[in-house]
Amino acid sequence: MAQRETKTHPQAQVLQASLHRSWVVFIAMSMFVVGMGYGLYTLYNNAPALLSRASVAYLDIPPMRGAIRASDGTPLALSTTDEVRVHPMGLSASQLLGFGERANGSGLAGLERDLEETLKAGGSVRLTLDANIQALAERALWRAMEGSKSEWGVALVMEAKTGRLLAVANGPRFDPTAARGDISKDISWRNHAFTQAIEPGSTQKSLTAAILMEAGVVKIESRVEAPMFRVIAGRTINDIVRHPPNLTLAEVLKYSSNVGITRLAERVPNDTIYEFFRKLHFTDPKPMPAVSVGAPLVRPVKRWGPLETANAAFGQGFLVTPLHMLAAYNALANDGVYQQPVLLEGQVSKAERVFRPEVAQSVRRALTDGVAERAKVPGYLVGGKTGTAQVVVNGRYSSEVFAASFAGFIPSDKPRVTVLVTLFHPKGGGLNIHGSMVSAPVFREVAAGLFAQWGLPPVVQKEEKKDKKQ
């Protein structure tokens, strides 16, 4: 009898295969859970050591050097991941920013040096600079330097009520990324605005006028005999611009009379003038926090004789940086309150009253009425004072080297900013060495640009519309 073949039903085969796969999945999942548990157990037991090693490794990596930015966040100096220092705004503010070592980036000059501790630790800083105003001042300054062939120049803009520096322009142009030559001969890297102490020249007469008015010995309409020259302590003091022999104080400023201002200055003791020098921070080697500034040089008052008093009255015989002079002039713009200059956002400017408001306003009106022709902006009120100081060369005042300056207010009735421009050793020849010729146009260009940026309409147009209505 043939043996009967036994066959498994198809459904039973499927069931058997499914059971087989289920066991495989179960075993795999069990192994995964066991492995995960073991991994977590190992990680838990070794976490302190792992974290310690990670911390050490992190501390071994130096932080990227911090950035320097303008007030609106515009980057002025940044470091790439391979520690290359770049300047997105090109040459703008390059002398102020300074430069560092090629190898490790440590600051050698400018803010890169002054703020080394913060920048090296990876901290970034924001300046009070307005990138647009900085560019405006630089364009005007560099153009004037090329035309006058000046050795160096500066243009500074300060916000009158706060002391915030909105522009710190230096010339000639400087590329901090270029190969550097002999820094003792190439002066383009120097921040002359903060470091170069010079005699201010006749820009000082406006401050002397305010000092005398504050002391109560003169008014702006007070008169003085002012011949074209006088002799003091064996030295002849001359006036350059022809003028009447009898002048008001306002006219002394208009004609920039050395004789007139020295005769008026003799009405107060030397101690009084020196005390106002102190209040205006002319004797202060650190007029601004956190940033290096060149020390002024003012002879102790006990060594002042008649000649030293006369020189001090019209801006010679002592040295201050352009920054010192800007801040002092700003006291006239700020209705008599000296405002400490500040460059870093977050710093608070200290304030100190030096002159009564009516004194500052009176001097500003005189400087508006007598402002240099090349400083005027048609339709707008601006005021200021020129200065052309002889420079000491080899121990004697040179007849060829001058520092030509202009300091003024924009607008002059209610100043929003104070501006100071200095061109050192202009070589235009003739009258083109004077502040009224070479520095006043820089002020005018900055003023015109600011009026446009602020959107202020010309005053003259307002007056014309008023006349038409009447």
User: Average pLDDT of the chain?
Assistant: 89
Give the single-character DSSP code of 295.
Answer: P
d(CA 73, CA 139): 21
Lowest mean pLDDT among 25-29, 48-52, 372-376: 48-52
Q: Is residue 262 over pLDDT 60?
A: yes
Nearest to 235 by CA among 302, 305, 321: 305
Do residues 283 and 277 touch, judged by C-beta distance below 8 A?
Answer: yes
pLDDT tens digits, 64-116: 999 999 999 999 999 988 888 999 999 999 999 999 987 778 999 999 999 99
- pLDDT of 34 above 70: no
Q: What is the CA radius of gyration of the chain?
A: 35
Residue 180: the pLDDT is: 75
DSSP category for residue 375: G
Q: What crossing angle do the helices spanning 204-214 and 322-333 adopt, rounded to 10°?
A: 50
Q: What's the pLDDT tens digit per position in 10-19?
A: 454 544 545 4
Q: What does the pLDDT look like over 189-222, one tens digit per residue?
A: 999 999 999 999 999 999 999 999 999 999 999 9
Reported as a pLDDT band with limits 50, 70 and 90, residue 22 is low
Between CA 414 and CA 452 the distance in angstroms is 17
Would you say residue 298 has pLDDT above 90?
Answer: yes
Across the range 329-347, mean pLDDT stands at: 98
Mean pLDDT over residues 266-292, rounded? 97
448, 419, 360: which is closest to 165 by C-alpha?
A: 419
Instruction: Read off the pLDDT of each residue in 236-252 and give the average, rounded to a whole number.
Output: 97
DSSP string, 43-93: HHHHHHHHHHHHHHHHHTSPPPPPPEE-TTS-EEEEE-TT--EE-TTTTTT
| Structure confidence by residue, pLDDT tens digits, 445-466 | 999 999 999 999 998 644 444 4
Return the structure tokens found at 463. 């007056």
* Cα–Cα distance for residue pair 456/453, rounded to 1 Å: 8
